[in-house]
Structure 1
Amino acid sequence: MSPDPGWYKRAVFYEVLVRGFKDSNGDGTGDLRGLIEKMDYVKWLGVDCLWLLPLYQSPLRDGGYDISDYMKILPEFGELTDFTAMIEAAHQRGLRVITDLVMNHTSDRHPWFQASREDPEGPYGDFYVWTDDPTTYEGVPIVFVGAEESNWTYDPVRRQYYWHRFFHHQPDLNYDNPVVQETMLDVLRFWLDLGVDGFRLDAVPYLFEREGTDCSGLPETHAYLKRVRAVVDADYPDRVLLAEANGWPEDVVEYFGDPLTGGDECHMAFHFPLMPRIFMAVRRENREPISEIMSRTPKLPETAQWGIFLRNHDELTLEQVTEEERDYMHAEYAKDPRMRAYLGIRRRLAPLLENDRDQIELFTALLLSMPGSPVLYYGDEIGMGDNIWLEDRDAVRTPMQWSPDRNAGFSQADPGRLYLPAVMDPIYGFPSVNVEAQQQNPSSLLQFTRQMLEIRRQHPIFGTGDFIELWSPNPAVLAFLREDGEDRVLCVNNLSKHPQPVELDLRRFHGLTPVECRGGVPFPTVGELPYLLTLPGHGFYWFALRG
């Protein structure tokens, strides 16, 4: 890959569950060799970077986020040689690859934790957070409400309590121990040396604990992230650190580090509150939820970028909304209680939008035009469905639907051996929703998504340009400008299911001609009068403003 320090600002990420993407050896589980087989599809789609969910050795009690060996690949996925072959295959096609790294905790099966339990005075005795008093750090919120009753669990071997911000089988590492800090830096170096282009740092706010706080985003955590960034910048230029920090944008900017240096912690962080507000705005047919959260979004340091998404491998999280807004989202998008998980909604994009093609296209256009680097979740480009009868988050982690053949073309295994059953319902089942059919259909959702990605590539301002919202008297229309120098794109979005008119003040662009990006059609030249547009229900326009 040619050197490009700012590649992540212009990139579109494609989130892949390796277990669910392609099975190369017929054992019913996707693997790295299967991903290599489908790398040409990823390149054809038009994304820039793969984001792979955890690949490490794990007992899989939490989808691989419970790691039992940081230096080994889960055997079902392959070996380290398969991993390096996958990296090479991606790089040969101009694609980058980032992986999940869980720094906060390990599995309770990890040899470090077993040694810590059995030998408190040994070299791993202080690798985890232990106490005799389970009221320590009292009042710290429980992440998995309903699944866990406390952040402390008693261990009968050591006869002490250990700290866990997530499930009880995921004990938190003790970052007050300098050896833990160095060990985790060695883990980063190991994978960076193998060629990975960066990491999504899972649960990164929770590395340190202090009495009297909520044990989240503490100064010690930020100090350690600066150490991590310094190592990456010094030894691994062009690599990226993406923070998973679920908070308000004015708080999350702290994970970018010092703005005076251009940012000295993570290069990227997810903009979690934007996503539910897109869903709210469209259902309410009012732009206010999006406008309000964007007005609260501060200017970023020079090297920083938001990561934005519609759906991913977890539930549609509703932590950063009010209780009233959460009730509204549940009522509108998760009428069946089985669709809910923790504080969110465990559904894919197409079922959330009731398979309404116009809405899916509008949401995709918003994802690709709002400020930040967008993340597509595997299968959403073809409108894959979910299976709410599966447990927990497995509802949205079913096999990729490649063809109408056996097991959706995912695997040659006996259907009963699949890690999860392929979706087979009449609307979203693989006989009707699959890559093979949509590649051959010029009007398919897959071809639409590919076209929009191509248009985005032609306009780097979608990744790096300014975002300027344009006021209009019609609250159902969200209009904004993406601009950097002479590259300008006007985006106009109808959040209502009914046709809507809108008048925009474009006098600043007097004499320029809006050219619709999808068809290349020139619209009337901008004059002194308000610029009138009419949009179909859930319609949108992208206009390149040209002289």
Structure 2
Amino acid sequence: MNQASLHRLLSQKGKDSKELFDLRLATNLTLIQKQFFSLYPEERHEKNFKKLLQLLPKLYLERPEALRNQDLQRLKSGNWYQSEKLVGMQLYVEHFNKDLKGLQEKIPYFKKLGVNFLHLMPITTRPKGESDGGYAVNSYLEVDKKYGSKKDLLELTSALRKNGIYLMLDFVVNHTSNEFSWAKKAIKGDKKYQNYYYTYEDFTIPAEFEKTLPEVFPETSPGNFTYIPEMEKWVMTVFNSYQWDLNYTNPEVFLEMLANLVKLTDLGVDVVRFDALAFLWKKIGTISQNLPEAHNLISLFRMCLQVVAPGSILLAEAIVAPTNIVKYFGEGEKRGNECEVAYNASLMALLWNSIATKKTQLLYKSLMHVPPKPKDCTWINYIRCHDDIGLGYENHLIQELGWNSEMHRKFLLDYYCQRLDWSPAKGILFMYNPKTGDGRITGSAASLLGLEKAIATKNDDLIKESVNKIIMLHGITLAFEGIPLIYAGDEIGTLNDYSFQNDASKKGDSRWVNRPRQDWETISKLEKEDSPQSAIFRTLQKLIKIRKENTVFADHNNLEIYHTGNDHILSLERTHDDKRLLVICNFDENPQVIDSSWIKKLGYFSNGEPMDLVSAEKIALNSALLEVMPYQMLWLMKS
């Protein structure tokens, strides 16, 4: 049993809030102590551990009473984040509707679509020039003026709570900007704050790190260290020269960041997205990603947050190999005691692979290869986000299919990045490394799935095919175990936005092609016009409604994957109590058939014809074969 389960039991005892805090602290104390001293040896850091024990009750007492009451309600209600009723959207505030007040005005739009979980891209202060889309933070708690004020944020979170909408914000846990208060003090020579980062007087130690550290942005930010003339020192900058990596080997950094984390949830944040958490611990001779110490540190954050603010949870932003992603839920005694939620980046990348190849073999192989997640944890499932599409498939699985892994990745880059005339995709290469041939893909879902090319060529058949692809991929994320997350604009088939090429601060980053402004003019016409955009919106609206009405979509570790004998088809089943749902998807441009005998054995035709929830029609089985149309998705509910 993980610690959260114990806290739920404690919350049933009817004690007052402070007594329950004391019980949570007592329950977590052994694990907190073990994780702390695993990172910071007891013989040297007992004083720092005492500081932590003094900090936790202080942070608890500072937490707003309304949120403390909400914490207790959520503990009693169970794992709210595994509910079938959750459907999310990720967005840039300034691109969606100006600022935080403008966003608040659009709450009716979210409710109309069925969205009740929002991930806002960074809204805190950042450098005026390049800021990695806001992930170079000048502050963890102050709102950038272009979004409004902290008061506006508090008003927004209050309005969201009243409307049953959850909020996720980023916590850039790995680094700060070079304009952050700690960095400024370090530049002025303050030794205390120089020790908050990895700083070195010469390049001897950085040279040792560089032997094994990969480059995150090889085109725009080669290397992992930057020389700071004012400080006369080198500083570790794994992402960009203006993003300084925090030195978590210093326990003072952990204590400061824990306080920032809790204060962020005090603003009304329900889910905290731990950005770049795979990079948290650095060690010479390693790639300094996914290290055991990083997992211990994340668990330490989680155990402390559970004690102070148990109604808020952590999301792992770990875009790593499938077998490594599951580790961020926790393993061994940490199982279920790291992050409650993680991005299902593997599913996302595998779906794009299946679209390009029209085959599902790698999808099946990879999904079957991922270890089961803890029962109290869940995924966020998505097809696009603000970031690129990485091709982080496991080489040995590609090779087991008889494919060359290097050539297969080249094919995917060619297919999506306009290197093949016959491909309908209109994507752009991101961070291509000619030395290795590695690269990533960016572009909007609609453009990558052919809608941009179809509209430009006025090809009605291709338009229909593209719309079906868009609906099918979103339908898979809605049906898979976890929280479905729609990237703002995808619900209306928004195309690539090439205007970033005219902005000096953006033109070097092709990811901006997939960061368009919300098209409110198109949205205003959705009910008046019969367009691809309205078809996508109406269908997603319908699928979201179906999901929320059926408890079979809740995440109870109730997903089973079935091989159909047809490599173009994906099939999975969701079950809960006496309810069963079979999802069947065709990734090919031609109709495909599957042997229906295994569906009969599952009992879907035992009491008559099953209902397809997508079309609201019963599925007749007049032969031994079931035909699935191009890019069709069936949601068969057992009658």
**Rounded Cα–Cα distance in structure 2 between residues aligned with 1:308 and 1:259:** 25
Q: Which of 549, 556, 561 does residue 469 from structure 1 map onto?
A: 561
Q: Which of 545, 550, 554 does residue 454 from structure 1 map onto?
A: 545
Q: Which of 341, 344, 358 does residue 430 from structure 2 map onto?
A: 341
Aligned to 1:36: 104
**Residue 388 and residue 289 in structure 1: after superposition, are their counterparts in 2 closer, same or farther (change >3 A)?**
farther
Q: Which of 510, 520, 529 does residue 402 from structure 1 map onto?
A: 520
**Rounded Cα–Cα distance in structure 2 between residues aligned with 1:524 and 1:395:** 44
User: 316-325 or 227-236: which moved more?
Assistant: 316-325
Aligned to 2:189: 119
- Deviation, 1:318, is 2.3
Aligned to 2:448: 352
- Deviation, 1:323, is 3.0
Q: Which of 172, 178, 187 does residue 251 from structure 2 map onto?
A: 178
Aligned to 1:511: 606
Per-residue Cα deviation, 1:114-167 (whole angstroms, up to 9, x for no partner): 11122242x312111012223031221010111122101111112111001100
**Rounded Cα–Cα distance in structure 1 between residues aligned with 2:356 and 2:430:** 21
Q: Alignment partner of 2:348: what SS?
A: helix
Q: Which of 153, 156, 162 does residue 83 from structure 1 map onto?
A: 153
Percentage of matched positions with identical amino acids: 27
Q: Alignment partner of 1:300: what SS?
A: coil
**Rounded Cα–Cα distance in structure 2 between residues aligned with 1:459 and 1:441:** 30
Contact 2:265–2:272 (Cα < 8 Å) also in 1:
no
Per-residue Cα deviation, 1:281-329 (whole angstroms, up to 9, x for no partner): 1222211121111111211112111222111001122244643332111
Structure 2 residue 117 is matched with structure 1 residue 49: yes
Q: Which structure features the higher share of helix residues?
A: 2
Paired residues, what number? 505
Structure 2 residue 481 is matched with structure 1 residue 481: no
Q: Alignment partner of 2:602: what SS?
A: helix
**Rounded Cα–Cα distance in structure 2 between residues aligned with 1:66 and 1:364:** 31
Q: Alignment partner of 1:214: what SS?
A: coil
Structure 2 residue 12 is matched with structure 1 residue 12: no
Q: Alignment partner of 1:190: what SS?
A: helix
AA at the equivalent of 2:238: R
Q: Which of 368, 383, 399 does residue 310 from structure 1 map onto?
A: 383
**Rounded Cα–Cα distance in structure 2 between residues aligned with 1:32 and 1:501:** 50
- Deviation, 1:98, is 0.7
Per-residue Cα deviation, 1:80-124 (whole angstroms, up to 9, x for no partner): 110011111111111100101101011111121111122242x31
**Rounded Cα–Cα distance in structure 2 between residues aligned with 1:467 and 1:5:** 20
Per-residue Cα deviation, 1:395-424 (whole angstroms, up to 9, x for no partner): 111211011xxxxxxxxxxxxxxxxxxxxx
**Rounded Cα–Cα distance in structure 2 between residues aligned with 1:474 and 1:189:** 50
Residue correspondence of structure 1 range 421-460 to structure 2 within 5 A: 434-441=522-529, 444-460=535-551
User: 344-353 or 516-525: which moved more?
Assistant: 516-525
TM-score, with length taken from structure 1? 0.88
Aligned to 1:323: 406
- Deviation, 1:198, is 1.6
Per-residue Cα deviation, 1:254-303 (whole angstroms, up to 9, x for no partner): 11114666500101111222222212212222111211111112111121
Q: Alignment partner of 2:356: what SS?
A: helix
**Residue 440 and residue 84 in structure 1: after superposition, are their counterparts in 2 closer, same or farther (change >3 A)?**
farther
Q: Which of 70, 78, 98 does residue 168 from structure 2 map onto?
A: 98
Aligned to 2:632: 539
AA at the equivalent of 1:357: V
Aligned to 1:66: 136
- Deviation, 1:243, is 0.6
- Deviation, 1:463, is 3.6
Per-residue Cα deviation, 1:226-274 (whole angstroms, up to 9, x for no partner): 1211122222223221111111221121111146665001011112222
**Rounded Cα–Cα distance in structure 2 between residues aligned with 1:459 and 1:531:** 29
Q: Determine which structure has more spread, i.e. the larger CA radius of gyration.
A: 2
Q: Alignment partner of 1:57: what SS?
A: coil
Q: Alignment partner of 1:376: what SS?
A: strand
Contact 2:427–2:448 (Cα < 8 Å) also in 1:
no
**Rounded Cα–Cα distance in structure 2 between residues aligned with 1:232 and 1:440:** 48
Aligned to 1:136: 208
Aligned to 2:492: 382
Aligned to 2:296: 223
Structure 2, unaligned stretches of length 5 or more? Answer: 1-69, 395-404, 420-425, 432-438, 452-465, 501-506
**Rounded Cα–Cα distance in structure 2 between residues aligned with 1:314 and 1:221:** 23
- Deviation, 1:70, is 1.5
Aligned to 1:494: 586
**Rounded Cα–Cα distance in structure 1 between residues aligned with 2:332 and 2:610:** 36
**Residue 274 and residue 324 in structure 1: after superposition, are their counterparts in 2 closer, same or farther (change >3 A)?**
farther
- Deviation, 1:380, is 0.2
Residue correspondence of structure 1 range 358-373 to structure 2 within 5 A: 358-373=468-483
